[in-house]
Amino acid sequence: MWLGSCASSATAAAALHKPVAHLRPLLRVSASCSSNSSPAPPTVAARGPSPSPGVAATAMPSPNSAPTTPTTPAEETTAAAAATSGFRLTEPSFLESLMPKKETGVDRFLAAHPEYDGRGALIAIFDSGVDPAAAGLQTTSDGKPKILDVIDCTGSGDVDTSKVVKADADGAIVGASGTRLIVNSSWKNPSQEWRVGYKLVYELFTDTLISRLKKERKKKWDEENQEAISGALNQLNEFEKKHSKPDDAKLKKAKEDLQDRLDCLRKQADGYDDRGPVIDVVVWHDGDVWRVAVDTQGLEGNKDCGKLADFVPLTNYRIERKFGIFSKLDACSFVANVYDDGNLVSIVTDCSPHATHVAGIAAAFHPEEPLLNGVAPGAQLISCRIGDTRLGSMETGTGLVRALIAAVEHKCDLINMSYGEPTILPDYGRFIDLVNEVVDKHRIIFISSAGNNGPALNTVGAPGGTSSSIIGIGAYVSPSMAAGAHCVVQAPSEGMEYTWSSRGPTADGDLGVSISAPGGAVAPVPTWTLQSRMLMNGTSMSSPSACGGVALLVSAMKAEAIPLSPYTVRKAIENTAASISDVPEEKLTTGHGLLQVDRAFEYARQAKKLSLVSYKISINQVGKSTPNLRGIYLRGSNACQQTSEWTVQLNPKFHEDASNLEQLVPFEECLQLHSTDSSVVNIPEYILLTNNGRSFNIVVNPDNISSGLHYYEVYGMDCRAPWRGPIFRVPVTVIKPIALSGEPPVLSLSKLYFKSGHIERRFINVPVGASWAEVTMRTSALDTPRRFFLDTVQMCPLKRPIKWEAVVTFSSPSIKNFSFSVEGGLTMELSIAQFWSSGNASHEPTCVDFEIVFHGISVNQKVIALDGSESPMCIVARSLLASERLVPVANLNKIRIPYRPVESNFCPLPTSRDRLPSGKQIIALTLTYKFKLEDSAEVKPHLPLLNNRIYDNKFESQFYRISDSNKSVYSSGDVYPSYVKLPKGEYTLQLYIRHENVQFLEKLKHLVLFIERKLEKDSIPLSFYSEPDGPIVGNATFKSSILVPGEPEAFYVGPPSTEKLPKSSPPGSVLVGSITYGVVSSFNKNEQNQHAPASYSILCVVPPSKVDDNKEKEVSVGTKKSVSERLNDEVRDTKIKFLSSLKQENEDHKSAWTELVASLKSEYPKYTPLFAKILDCVLQESTSDDKISHHKEVIVAADEVVDSIDKEELAKLLSLKPDPEDEESQKTKKKMEETRDQLADALYQKGLALAEIESLKPDESTEASAKDVFEENYKELIKWVDAKTTKYGTLTVLRERRCGRCGTALKVLNNMIQEDSEQPKKKLYDLKIQLIEEIGWAHVSAYEKQWMHVRFPPSLPPF
């Protein structure tokens, strides 16, 4: 996805959402205006989702390709641009620049047709969720509701409300969180059934809002905690005054308790981590509709605010169009939608300001300030949230498909989607298939952002820039936008594409960008931001600008009864767009030009009686059957050295409801074909096109063209209606790279001069054998700081573009060095761009000297796979370009363990939001995997089949979650899994995959999943050898060498030794790491051994485990007994084992169990393991009926264990030190330690039972005070073990508590929790809350109770 965040200036931006490292935001945001000429030190930053100084990118202009289209409408834009030397703004023109409309002819159109301001047009906003409370989004210009529906398509706001409760006599119910809630007596509920659920409110908020709330909530919590600390300190001081030197043991312990209370409060403050309050959700049916009420007392922090009974009930937004506000503190609005007959409630919030801003650009209406209106203030909206709060704001396949379903259900006219990312295959995937249906069958116009990954070519993202049915929008900035919205010191003299706007072509030759529109605006943002408007810029903003313009066109066409079709609209806007540049190649940047709404409407009027048809192009190179392309794209020296011939299949495409006899049969067009350069691209002159299509050939001869980028077009004109302009186009892109020479090969570019927005491109045939490049960039002639974008792109079949990028800022003349990996034999584009607003206050161009040197070490196999044996692997290295230092380095730093699902479930999804427009119900496949960690570790799931593909994937979901045995969710993810730190324990991973075809899902029911674990401290370095026996004999180590060009050198990489294999690495798992071979030529003296950036994968299969010699020794020791003795032992152990397997489910079973116990006791009267097993069985018995009797049984069983042990003999044996070489004495010691543990466990369980009886019958606990059984039992326990450890500490806590020392008890309990490396234990936290409440710390108790919902939820949340 592409999103951005506020930056300190209009020229800087940073990513708001960081799902994966290779994505770049589609939007840029500036919170304030400032000069871009302030001095800054030289910096280098990688662009992408992580915060960086350069997020906006450059774009290049493109010509208008319709030869019959006059250029007059573009002259206004050009004239305005030309007049901007010393650009000055008035207040009205400044306000106009904040919401640009002049650039696209919107002002002219609305002046001529004020009633066609979007009225009658309905736009679906596929985004992060629109805030219905935001400024300008309440009504349309003609008084209708602005937002008709607000939907969370991801499921991240879903609340399970399947639990039904009844109100008591006082009108109260118990909410799902356990809170007692008073129901408003005026609420109508004929069934008297209340459905309850709860949600951790932070799961509904953005990170920015959570951060603000945490600061405000912590401030209040700190005040309460400081008050408690002061009270505890006063108590301690008063005690010390009263008892200055306490000699009595009880007084000492009392003082320790007071000190422990003080320490606990201080530690509580140090460990404070606010996970947010819980909100209770209550649902009921009032006889007409489902109603929802929310209790937010925990969020308000005031018992008189946020009560359930005071909440104004909501119903599905589309019914009454009402929303709620959680609290004044957060100022966050939300809506509620009920699904599945009340069993599921969707609480809908936004997951970033992005969508509200987008909606405001498209359609905001500000009657008090019309200049800030959106482009189509009369249009209506539905909000379809595709950004998942659980993933930050990343889109999911589930969200995308549900959004399409909603758009069709609401009969939308347009869709705007300002999300996207790179893709492997253009125009491919499940989402694209459904989009095609939505456009072709349901006639919805789909508009989307092209991406923010420029300025290099081939950077358009999916779906906007890569899908035939979607209109992809580039981002344009005009001089008035620069001067007003961006507040630059001096605006550029003419408009241009933003530097960061993505460029075409696509991998299959399509243009990529359809048209351009203004890519920045000051527009509404959600109320929780505590401001009404914000400046953002990106193709995320150009897309709604274009969408609003098209909404005006839709409004006009509907009003004038012009047949509405995505096909007609697209042709109208593309063939009337205003040229931004006369250079043909710039069309890859700007598309067909800048949208002109007024001209597009005149075109639509003229085309009113034409057939509603689009033209599908499928291209194959002659002699090749696959792949089918959408353009001709020659990229590489070999492709440019010979003439090639291509077959173009042109097929008219009608809407699905077109009439065979009235539309398809009569369709016939005589088309004249044109080539923009017949010396390179040769074509036939005419074709006759009918409904069944027509093919023709194109011959491309690039022999005589110069090196660099060349763009041509083949287009068809209707001979009978040439005013239509091109009715189809075949893009022809030719990139002719330059070949390099020298050892090593080098490209030197001297005295390149840059002004704001200028881009230099070079296309290089990367030499075969190159694996990395080293770059030196030198600037001179600077009078103000300058910022540059550096990009390189290589294209490889069925892979995402191989892209390297950097942002570098020069505050003074200086030198910067870079290195990055390359792929030898592939053409590489080098793009150097001065940022569009950098240096525009200067009259001096930037002088740049640039040098790129290619290096490489080639090996006989890129992926090294060690098979798990002791044998090393031979690697043969060569340098084909120049002499290189060979310094191999390899490390294994991860382990991947494969798992099969233990359970698979198919479920047709019950709600209408999962029913496709075709009527088919989507089916969900849930796969359950189990894995265990012996120690805490960072892990992530890895699904080779599905990961890293959203749009180019035939399955619409791969959502997963990892939970522990307490049902606490540690991690959620989707296409891009991320690492999560997990403590020791057992875990469940559930994978959720969706499709309507159950046969496809059936093939995935045994899908292999890898759990990838970081080795961190256990990272395994591998050794290299010059001899095959090196790993065994330990010599002939290989360190480094000098490779002479063309001369191979061989060496071996050895497998890791068995001792270095990580724990918990089962046979068949795979150790994963990287290997490098070269070093970077020293840029400076401190980087002599910097490893080359070209690294490769190295794998090692974990071999079978060694045979355990100790087991054989144990067997041999055991054989010293006679056969009869061994038989008796086996019989005895089998009987005991059988005893533990018996269930005491009813009286008959319990009677049989009791008889067997009596029999075994008489047969083995002093066999401690028997009595220990009996105690275990008693502990496992159900205690629901008579708890006191059960605890008494535990005491009896524990006493029998104690009585079976000769404690004096045990103490004597444990005090002896056995001979370490005497196996018999070692075995005896082990047996005595087991007996001691059985004794300690019995004493521990007896103590717990005594404490429980005491709590259930406090009257009896005071009997026989002279003989305190509990205390005697505890004193016996501490003779054998440390009673403050995790295993036995609970008894110490109970003892301190019963002595009134809750502070000491809490300290011991906190230490137990902290030292326990496994998953949380609910009974310990329950006990902790009891102690805190007994002390009287209400604020700490409330904090811990909130955490209980995180640690121990009653069930897993819905997917």
Catalytic residue positions? 127, 354, 540
In angstroms, the Cα distances linking 501 to 242, 542, 591, 755 are 76, 10, 11, 18
Cβ-based neighbours of 91, under 8 Å, separated by 6 or more: none
Interior/surface letters 740-764, b for 16+ CB within 10 angstroms, e for the rest: beeebbebeeeebebbbbbbbbbbb
- Euclidean distance between CA atoms 114 and 786, whole angstroms: 44
Query: Count of residues for the chain?
Result: 1359
* 1066 class by beta-carbon count within 10 Å (0-12 exposed, 13-18 middle, 19+ buried): exposed
Helices (H) and strands (E) in the chain, counts: 30, 61
Q: Which two tokens stand for residue 1201?
A: 């264990």
285 - beta bridge partners?
Answer: 290
Crossing angle of the two packed helices 1123-1141 and 1168-1180, in degrees rounded to 10? 10
Which residue type occupies 1297? R
- Euclidean distance between CA atoms 453 and 450, whole angstroms: 9
Q: How many CA atoms lie within 13 A of 154 on its CB side?
A: 30
In order, the DSSP letters of 465-501 are TT-TTSEEEEEEE-HHHHHTTS--SS--SS-EEEETS
Evaluate whether 882 touches 744 at the Cβ level (below 8 Å).
Answer: yes
- Euclidean distance between CA atoms 572 and 1037, whole angstroms: 71
Q: Are strands 802-810 and 786-794 parallel, antiparallel or unpaired?
A: antiparallel
Evaluate whether 516 touches 538 at the Cβ level (below 8 Å).
Answer: no
Evaluate whether 195 touches 284 at the Cβ level (below 8 Å).
Answer: yes
User: Following CA atoms 534, 540, 543, 545 in sequence, which dihedral angle do they give, to the nearest 10 degrees?
Assistant: 10
Evaluate whether 1015 touches 1063 at the Cβ level (below 8 Å).
Answer: no
Per-residue HEC secondary structure of 271-304 comes to CCCCCCCEEEEEEEECCCCEEEEEECHHHHCCCC
CA angle at 811 for the pair 806 and 816, rounded to the nearest 5°: 45
849 - beta bridge partners?
Answer: 778
Q: How far is CA 612 from the centre of its chain?
A: 40
- Other Cβ atoms less than 10 A from the Cβ of 811: the count is 17
947 - beta bridge partners?
Answer: none
5 - beta bridge partners?
Answer: 14
Q: How many CA atoms lie within 13 A of 41 on its CB side?
A: 2
Q: Which two tokens stand for residue 37?
A: 């000429």
Question: Which residue in the block uniquely carries the two structure tokens 């004193």?
Answer: 1275
Torsions phi, psi for 730 (to 5 deg)? -115, 105
In order, the DSSP letters of 1301-1341 are -HHHHHHHHHHHHHH--BS--HHHHHHHHHHHHHHT-HHHH
In order, the DSSP letters of 159-189 are EE--EEE---TTSEEE-TTS-EEEPPTTS--
* 288 class by beta-carbon count within 10 Å (0-12 exposed, 13-18 middle, 19+ buried): exposed
- Euclidean distance between CA atoms 360 and 532, whole angstroms: 11
